[in-house]
Amino acid sequence: MYELGVVYRRIERADRRDTEALAALGSATVHEAMGRVGLMKPYMRPIYAGAQVSGTAVTVLLHPGDNWMLHVAAEQIEPGDLVVAALTSECTDGYFGDLLATSFKARGARALVIDAGVRDVKTLTEMQFPVWSRAISAKGTIKATLGSVNIPVVCAGMLVHPGDAIVADDDGVVCVPRDRLAQTLTAARAREANEGAKRTQLAQGVLGLDMYKMREPLEKAGLRYID
Amino acid sequence: MYELGVVYRRIERADRRDTEALAALGSATVHEAMGRVGLMKPYMRPIYAGAQVSGTAVTVLLHPGDNWMLHVAAEQIEPGDLVVAALTSECTDGYFGDLLATSFKARGARALVIDAGVRDVKTLTEMQFPVWSRAISAKGTIKATLGSVNIPVVCAGMLVHPGDAIVADDDGVVCVPRDRLAQTLTAARAREANEGAKRTQLAQGVLGLDMYKMREPLEKAGLRYID
Amino acid sequence: MYELGVVYRRIERADRRDTEALAALGSATVHEAMGRVGLMKPYMRPIYAGAQVSGTAVTVLLHPGDNWMLHVAAEQIEPGDLVVAALTSECTDGYFGDLLATSFKARGARALVIDAGVRDVKTLTEMQFPVWSRAISAKGTIKATLGSVNIPVVCAGMLVHPGDAIVADDDGVVCVPRDRLAQTLTAARAREANEGAKRTQLAQGVLGLDMYKMREPLEKAGLRYID
Amino acid sequence: MYELGVVYRRIERADRRDTEALAALGSATVHEAMGRVGLMKPYMRPIYAGAQVSGTAVTVLLHPGDNWMLHVAAEQIEPGDLVVAALTSECTDGYFGDLLATSFKARGARALVIDAGVRDVKTLTEMQFPVWSRAISAKGTIKATLGSVNIPVVCAGMLVHPGDAIVADDDGVVCVPRDRLAQTLTAARAREANEGAKRTQLAQGVLGLDMYKMREPLEKAGLRYID
Amino acid sequence: MYELGVVYRRIERADRRDTEALAALGSATVHEAMGRVGLMKPYMRPIYAGAQVSGTAVTVLLHPGDNWMLHVAAEQIEPGDLVVAALTSECTDGYFGDLLATSFKARGARALVIDAGVRDVKTLTEMQFPVWSRAISAKGTIKATLGSVNIPVVCAGMLVHPGDAIVADDDGVVCVPRDRLAQTLTAARAREANEGAKRTQLAQGVLGLDMYKMREPLEKAGLRYID
Amino acid sequence: MYELGVVYRRIERADRRDTEALAALGSATVHEAMGRVGLMKPYMRPIYAGAQVSGTAVTVLLHPGDNWMLHVAAEQIEPGDLVVAALTSECTDGYFGDLLATSFKARGARALVIDAGVRDVKTLTEMQFPVWSRAISAKGTIKATLGSVNIPVVCAGMLVHPGDAIVADDDGVVCVPRDRLAQTLTAARAREANEGAKRTQLAQGVLGLDMYKMREPLEKAGLRYID
C-alpha cells in the first residue's frame, strides 16, 4: 500500500484549537466518543507516566533498523504537530534519542509516537519530551534506505493520515481522522460533562446497577441470584 | 478510523484476470514487485500447507468474540472474492468453522484471511478451503454487535480496501491495491521471468557474488577477507 | 492452591462410554455444548495434525525443568485415561519423549496434554501417540522435586479435576467436568444432529442470514446497506 | 468448568484479621509459606509501584470485550474485599476505569486484580486505588453477555475461590485458600521473623554459603573450584 | 562482542565423520550427551517436518532486514557444511528463498539455521532443503550493510563457533563445540545403545518407577500415596 | 557449550578505572562506540528508573527454577563487580530478593543483570540496588542443581566473558569485552564530546538534514518532495 521515497510538504492539518482540546479529554474518552475505534494496539506505552498530549500528525514510514526519514520528517514539523512513525516490518531498535528530540522540540513537536524502540529515555524524561513506543532499546540505526513522509501509514494497527488529530496519555494513543474531529470533540465533551455527576453518585455508594438501570436487562438476560 | 454498522454493497473490484494471475506468482514475488510493501504481519499462517490463491477482497470488521458480520459478509461475496476480516481489538477466538466455510465456498469465495482464530480446521483441510489466521481455537463467538462490511480495514498491520487484490500462500498474505495491480503484475512477471536463468546458474555453482556483481561494492564497503 | 508430594490412587473417573463418545464430536462442538467454556488456551497445539481423542484425566503437577512425577503418574494410568500435566511456573523444556510414550501407551493412555514442551516428536508421530503441548524442545529435565498426581490442576488456563473427561483435536483441548458429562454429551449430540441439514442448505447457497433469520435483528441493531 | 449467569450472594470469607495481616508480609513471603504455590502468572503487574494490599476475594467471570458483570460484582463487595476478575478467553481491553473504581472504593474494595486491561490509570493512581492487570488499554467494553459472580475462577493461571485471601504487591499476586490461611500466616510469620537476623549477618559480609551451610552439599554435588 | 566486516576463510571444521554421525542420533540424545546444554531456543522450528541433519557450521552475522552476507557466506561453504545465521537485533524478515537455497545446495550445504525469517518455503520443501528458522515471511531484504562470516555468533541464545558440529531435527537445533565432539558422540551412542532395552521393557508394561529404581528416592523425598 | 559444576576463582577483570568511566557515558553511546553491537535483548529492563551503573562481570549459569549458584557467585564478587546471570533455559521465576541483594551489596557488587525474574523489588528499590531482569516474580526457587560461576555465558542473547565490562541504564545493558574496553572508551568519549555542540545547534532549530549534510545523499537516493 505504501508509496516509497516521497515527502508530501503540504498536508491539511486538523483544526488547531479542536486538536488542542483533545488532550484534556484523554484517550479513553475520545476513543469512546469515536464509537470505540481509533486506538493503537496497547503495546504502545509512554516512556514516562503522566504525559497527556494532543497534536496533528506528521507521518513517517521507516524501514527496520533505519531512521533516516526521521531527519527528513523534522523539517516538515510545525508547532503543534506530533510525529507518528510506522515501520515496514517489526523492529525494536532505538530509532530516536535526545538529539532528535531536541530537534523535534525546537520545531514545535508535541511528542513522538513510534511503532519501534527509542533510547536516551532518561534524558527524554528530563526534557519532558513524551514518547509512546513499543520498546526501549539502546540499539542504534543506520541511514541507508528511503521511506516516506506524510503518506497514510498503519502505526500499531491503526491507520493514520497526515494531519489527523492524535491524543495520547497513560491509557494509549488514539487517532481522530481530520474530518471527524469536530463531531468527536462534541461527543467527547458531552461524555465528559456527564461523568462528574455519575462520579459523585458512585462515590456516595449508589450502584451502577441502579444508576445505569441494569437490573431489568440483567434479569431478562437470565441472571440468577443464589443465596 | 472505522465507520460502524454499514455494508457497502457496490465495490469496485480489481480486474478479475489480473487478480487471478497473482496466485501463480506467489506472495514473495508480488511483494517484491510492489517495492517490498503490502505484506501482512508474519503471524498470519495458513491452516494447512500448500495452498496458493488470489482473489478480490471483501472486507469485514469484527468485534472481539463476535462473528455476526461474517454472515453479513457472505451475502456480498461474488465468485473470485476472498474475505479479509479485521478486528477492533486482538482476539484469538474461533470465528469461522466448517458451516461458514460451506457457505463461503457456495458463494464462490477463494479463501478467508482473518486476524483472529478459526476452528474445524480438520474439516476445512478436507474441504480444501484455505484460511490464513493468527490462531486456531475451538472457542466459539456470539452474534451481538455490529461491525461493517466493505469498508477499508487494517488486517494484521496492512491496510486493505474492498476490491483490492489479495495473494496468499505458505509465505504469507500480500495486498495489492486495485489501482496498482496492473503495474505490479507487470513487475512481478518481469521478476519471475528473470529467476529461471538465475536458478540454472546458481544450480551449476555460480556464486551470487559473481552473478549479481557484488564483489566490488562489498570491497568498497570495506569487507576484509582473512586467511 | 496446590497440595504437593501426594498421589491420589483412587479417583472417580467419568463414565467410560460417555467419555469415549466425545472424541467423534470434537472439541468445538463439545465446547459449545458446555455453554462455550472449558477450552484450554489456544497455545496448546497437537504435535501432528489429525488426531482426535478423548479420555479420563489423570492429572500431574510438575515443577519447571523436572519430569519426575510423570513416572509416578504412569503407574496411575488405566486404559482409557489421558494424562493432563500442569506446571507450577512456565517452562518449555521437553518433559516427555518416546520412552515415556512407550510406557504410557503400554498402560493404556490415549494421549498426553502438557502445559510445557515435549521431544522425540518424530518418533511420537510414527507411534501415533498424540500429544498437545505448548512447545517442542529437545531440552531434557531432571528428577529432583516432588509434585503431585491426581490433584485438581490448572492446565493452560483451565481447571481439570482427576477423572474429568477430556477431548482434544486439531482445534484444541476441552475439559468436561465429570458431573456435567451426560448433559454435555446430550447437548453436543443435539448440536451435531442439527448441523447436517444446515450444511446441505448452505452448500446450496442458502445464506446464514436467512437460515438463522438474522435480517430482522441486524436491522433492529441499526445495520445500514449502502449501494 | 464454569457456571454462567449466576451470582452467589453468600460466600464464606477468609478470616478478616488474618487476611489483613497478609499485606505486611508481602506476596513473596506468603507464596513461600504456601510451599511455593499460589502465585498468579508474572504478567500480572501493578498499574503503579508501591501498593501492597490484601483482601478477601469477590470473583467475577467476564467475556472478552464485555464488562457488564463488574457492575453486578460491585453490589457483592463488602469492606475488606478485593475483586478478582477472570476471562473466558484472552483480552486486553480496558474493562475498568475511574468510575467503576469510585464505586468499588465506596463499597470498601481494597483493589482489583483482573486478567485483562484497565484504563484511566492516571486517575486511578491519583485515587490510590491499586489494580493488578495484564494490560493497560483505553479500549472500552460493551455490556451484553452474562458471566458470573462468586464462582471459582482461574485468573492468570491460578484457581481462586470466592472468599479466598489475596495478597498483592510489586512482586505479584498470591491466592491463599480460605482453609489454609491460618497455617500459611503462621508459616509466613516464622519465615519473616527469621529474616531480620539473616539480613544483619549478610550485611556484615557473612556469605550465604556459610550461613546456610551450603559448602558441604555443593561439594557432594561435585562442585569444583578452579584457580 | 562482534567483529564486523570480516570473512574468515580458513576455519577448523569438526571431524567430518563424527559430525555426520550426529544426524542419526538426533538433537535430544546429543543434547543429553552434552550434559543437557547446547540447545538453541525452542522458537527455532523446521519449515517442514521430518528432516534430520548434521553439519559443520559456517557462521554468518546479519543486520535486521539485510541479507547481503548470506551471499558472501555461500562462497565459504564446503560440502557437509551447514550455515548458521545470527542477527544483530531481532527481525522476522524473509532472508532466504529458493535462489539462495539452490546456490547453497550446489555448494554442498546441508541446511540453514537462521534466527530470522525465510520464504519460498513451498519450493524449499519440494527441493528438500531443510531450514530451521524463527519465522516464515515473504518480506524481502536489502543488501547494504556489512556483517561478518565465520566469526563466533550467538544464534537463538546459543554460542556457535565456525566449524562447530550442528545437529537439527524436529526437536530443535543443538551445537556441539568442535573440541567436545568426540566425547559427545561416545556419550550419545552409549545413551542410544541403552534405550532399546528400556523401550522393550516399558512396552511390556514395566514401570519407569521400577526400571529406574525411583520408588526409594521418591519415598525419601516424602511422597505420600493416598487411597 | 557450557561447562557445568565449576567455579573459576581467578578471572582477569577489565581495567577498573576504564570500567567505572563507562557508567557516565551510558549504554547507547557505548553501544555505538562498539560499532553498534554488544547490547542485550531489549526485554532486559531495570526494576526502577534512573539507575546508571558499570562494573566488571562475574558470570553465573543457572538452571530453571534453581538459584543455588547465586550463593556460590556471591563469594567471587569483588568491589566494583556486577553479576551477570544466564539460564540454561527460559524461566521467569524470582531468583533474587532482598537477602541476596544485601549479601551482594556487602561484597561490593554494583548491580545484578539476570535473564530471569527477581522479587522484593520494593525493598531493592529502597536499598537502591539496581537490577536488570526479564521479569518480576514472587515465585521462589530451589537449590538442587549445579551450574557454574565465571564461565562464558550467553545472557539475553549476548556473549559475556567473566571480567568483561558491563554498562547498564534505562536504555538497556551493554557488554564490552575486556580487550576492547580501552578503544571503546576512547570512541565513546569522542562521540560524547561531539554531542554537546550538535545539541546546541539542533536546539536552535538547525535541521539534522543540514547539520549532517543529508540533503545530497537523500536526493541521490531518489527522494522526491511533493507540494
DSSP E224: E
**Scanning every residue of chain F, which has its alpha carbon at the shortest distance from the alpha carbon of A11?**
F227
Cβ contact A218–D97 (<8 Å): no
**Scanning every residue of chain A, which has its alpha carbon at the shortest distance from the alpha carbon of B5?**
A35
Instruction: Give the Cα separation of C218 and C223 in Å (integer).
Output: 6
- Of F143, F153, F14, give the one whose Cα is nearest residue F78: F14
Cβ contact D214–F122 (<8 Å): no
E89 contacts in chain F (CB < 8 Å) = 39
DSSP C178: G
Q: CA angle F102-F103-F109, nearest 5°?
A: 95
Inter-axis angle of helices A68-76 and A98-107, to 10 degrees?
20
**Scanning every residue of chain E, which has its alpha carbon at the shortest distance from the alpha carbon of A87?**
E65
| Cα four-point dihedral sign D161, D162, D165, D168 | positive
The answer, yes or no, to whether residue C1 has pLDDT greater than 80, is no
Cβ contact E64–A142 (<8 Å): no
Instruction: Give the Cα separation of B29 and B16 in Å (integer).
Output: 19
Question: How many beta-carbon contacts under 8 Å exist across B and D?
Answer: 42
Q: Is the Cβ–Cβ distance between B122 and C169 less than 8 Å?
A: yes
CA dihedral E40→E46→E49→E53, nearest 10 degrees, is -70
pLDDT of residue F87: 96
F133-181 pLDDT tens trace: 999 999 999 998 999 999 999 999 999 999 999 999 999 999 999 999 9
Cβ contact B89–D89 (<8 Å): no
Amino acid identity at F169:
D
Instruction: Give the Cα separation of E131 and E142 in Å (integer).
Output: 21
The answer, yes or no, to whether residue B3 has pLDDT greater than 90, is no
B63-74 pLDDT tens trace: 999 999 999 999
Amino acid identity at B133:
S
What are the cell numbers at B59? 472486507
E120 contacts in chain B (CB < 8 Å) = 26, 28, 171
Output the tens digit of pLDDT for each of chain F's 227 residues: 588 999 999 999 999 999 999 999 999 999 999 989 999 999 999 999 999 999 999 999 999 999 999 999 999 999 999 999 999 999 999 999 999 999 999 999 999 999 999 999 999 999 999 999 999 999 999 998 999 999 999 999 999 999 999 999 999 999 999 999 999 999 999 999 988 899 999 999 999 999 999 999 999 999 999 99
Cβ contact B36–A90 (<8 Å): no
What stretch of H or E contains E25?
helix E16-25
Instruction: Give the Cα separation of B38 and B176 in Å (integer).
Output: 7
| For residues B82-109, average pLDDT | 97
B91 contacts in chain D (CB < 8 Å) = 64-65, 89-91
Cβ contact F2–E152 (<8 Å): no
The answer, yes or no, to whether residue A1 has pLDDT greater than 80, is no
What stretch of H or E contains E8?
strand E6-8
Out of A39, A205, A206, the one facing D139 most closely (by C-beta) is A39
Measured CA to CA in angstroms, residue B50 lies from B199, E48, E133 at distances of 22, 11, 18
Residue C3: pLDDT band by 50, 70, 90 thresholds? Answer: confident
The answer, yes or no, to whether residue D105 has pLDDT greater than 70, is yes
Inter-axis angle of helices B16-33 and B181-203, to 10 degrees?
60
The answer, yes or no, to whether residue A3 has pLDDT greater than 90, is no
E222 contacts in chain C (CB < 8 Å) = 5, 146
E41 contacts in chain F (CB < 8 Å) = 90
C82-127 pLDDT tens trace: 999 999 999 999 999 999 999 999 999 999 999 999 999 999 999 9
| For residues B113-132, average pLDDT | 98
Entry pTM? 0.96
- Is residue C196 helix, strand or coil? helix
- Of B53, C118, F123, A82, give the one whose Cα is nearest residue D28: F123
Establish whether chain D is in contact with chain E, requiring a minimum of 3 CB pairs below 8 angstroms.
no
B4 contacts in chain A (CB < 8 Å) = 35, 37
Which of A45, A71, A105 should be substituted to probe chain F, the one whose Cβ sees the most F Cβ atoms within 10 Å? A71
pLDDT of residue E2: 80
Establish whether chain F is in contact with chain D, requiring a minimum of 3 CB pairs below 8 angstroms.
yes
F92 contacts in chain D (CB < 8 Å) = 42
**Burial label, C80 (beta-carbon count in 10 A; 0-12, 13-18, 19+):** middle
Instruction: Give the Cα separation of C166 and C178 in Å (integer).
Output: 10
pLDDT of residue A95: 98
DSSP D2: -
Out of A90, A154, A175, the one facing B158 most closely (by C-beta) is A154
Establish whether chain A is in contact with chain C, requiring a minimum of 3 CB pairs below 8 angstroms.
no
Encode burial over E203-216: b for 16+ CB neighbours within 10 A, e otherwise. Answer: eeeebbbeeeebee
Q: Is the Cβ–Cβ distance between A104 and F206 less than 8 Å?
A: no
CA distance B132 to chain D (A): 20
The answer, yes or no, to whether residue D1 has pLDDT greater than 80, is no
F184 contacts in chain A (CB < 8 Å) = none
C121 contacts in chain E (CB < 8 Å) = 170-171
Residue appearing with cell numbers 495489492: B176
- Of D64, D52, D180, give the one whose Cα is nearest residue D114: D64
Under an 8 Å CB criterion, which residues of F touch C? 63-66, 88-93, 137, 139, 142, 144-145
The secondary structure of B122-181 as a DSSP string is: HHHHHHT--EEEEEE-----B--S--EESS-EEETTEEE-TT-EEEEETTEEEEE-GGGH
E48-82 pLDDT tens trace: 999 999 999 999 999 999 999 999 999 999 999 99
Cβ contact E39–F90 (<8 Å): no
- Of D166, D152, D26, D39, give the one whose Cα is nearest residue C89: D39
Establish whether chain C is in contact with chain D, requiring a minimum of 3 CB pairs below 8 angstroms.
yes
Q: How far is CA A104 from the centre of its chain?
A: 17
What are the cell numbers at D143? 455490556
Cβ contact F140–D45 (<8 Å): no
pLDDT of residue E3: 87
pLDDT of residue D26: 97
Cβ contact F157–E159 (<8 Å): no
DSSP B88: S
DSSP E180: G
Cβ contact D1–C177 (<8 Å): yes
Share of chain A above pLDDT 70, in %: 100
| For residues D115-121, average pLDDT | 98
C190: which strand partners?
A: none
Share of chain E above pLDDT 70, in %: 100
A26-67 pLDDT tens trace: 999 999 999 899 999 999 999 999 999 999 999 999 999 999
- Is residue B95 helix, strand or coil? coil
Q: How far is CA A15 from the centre of its chain?
A: 17
The answer, yes or no, to whether residue C156 has pLDDT greater than 70, is yes
pLDDT of residue F93: 96
Complex prediction ipTM: 0.95
**Scanning every residue of chain C, which has its alpha carbon at the shortest distance from the alpha carbon of B105?**
C203
| For residues B192-196, average pLDDT | 89
Instruction: Give the Cα separation of D107 and D28 in Å (integer).
Output: 28
**Scanning every residue of chain E, which has its alpha carbon at the shortest distance from the alpha carbon of C99?**
E199
Q: Is the Cβ–Cβ distance between E160 and E152 less than 8 Å?
A: yes
Out of A42, A170, A195, the one facing D99 most closely (by C-beta) is A195
Radius of gyration of chain E (CA): 20
The secondary structure of chain A as a DSSP string is: ----SEEE---PPPPHHHHHHHHHHHHHHHHHHTTS--BPPTT-EESSTT--EEEEEEEEEEBTTB-HHHHHHHHH--TTEEEEEEESS----B---HHHHHHHHHHT---EEEEEEE--HHHHHHHT--EEEEEE-----B--S--EESS-EEETTEEE-TT-EEEEETTEEEEE-GGGHHHHHHHHHHHHHHHHHHHHHHHTT--HHHHTT-HHHHHHTT-EEE-
Under an 8 Å CB criterion, which residues of C touch B? 26-28, 31-32, 36, 39, 42, 45, 49-50, 52, 169-172, 174, 195, 198-199, 202-205, 207-209, 212, 214, 218, 221-227
Inter-axis angle of helices A181-203 and D98-107, to 10 degrees?
0
**Scanning every residue of chain B, which has its alpha carbon at the shortest distance from the alpha carbon of E91?**
B42
Out of C2, C35, C159, the one facing D154 most closely (by C-beta) is C159
The answer, yes or no, to whether residue E1 has pLDDT greater than 80, is no
D223 contacts in chain F (CB < 8 Å) = 5-7, 72, 146
Neighbours of chain B (3+ CB pairs under 8 A): A, C, D, E
Neighbours of chain D (3+ CB pairs under 8 A): A, B, C, F
D152 contacts in chain C (CB < 8 Å) = 159
Instruction: Give the Cα separation of A92 and A65 in Å (integer).
Output: 8
- Of F103, F137, F141, give the one whose Cα is nearest residue F118: F137
Cβ contact D140–A32 (<8 Å): yes
What are the cell numbers at B17? 484476470
* Summary mean pLDDT of chain A: 96
**Scanning every residue of chain D, which has its alpha carbon at the shortest distance from the alpha carbon of B139?**
D89
Residue appearing with cell numbers 537516493: F221
